Copies of this chain bind each other. A is one copy, B any other.
Amino acid sequence: MELLEATRGLSALAQPSRLQVFRLLIQAGPEGLAAGDIARSLTLAPNTLTAQLHILVEAGLIHSERLGRNVIYRADPEAITQLVTYLVEDCCGGRPEVCAPLSAVLELSCS
Contacts and interface: CB of A to CB of B under 8 A. Distances in A.
Interface in A64-103: 77-78, 80-82, 84-96, 98-103
B101 A28 contact: no
Q: How many copies, total?
A: 2
Interface string A36-64: 00000000000000000000000000000
A10 B15 CA distance: 8
A30 to B, nearest CB: 7
A49 B31 CA distance: 43
Contact of A101 (B23, B29, B78): B78
Contacts of A100: 110
Contacts of A95: 29-30
Given A11-B14, A27-B93, A102 B87 contact: no
18 contacts: A7-B15, A7-B19, A27-B89, A28-B93, A29-B93, A30-B95, A30-B98, A77-B102, A78-B101, A80-B88, A81-B101, A84-B88, A84-B105, A88-B109, A90-B109, A96-B110, A102-B106, A106-B106
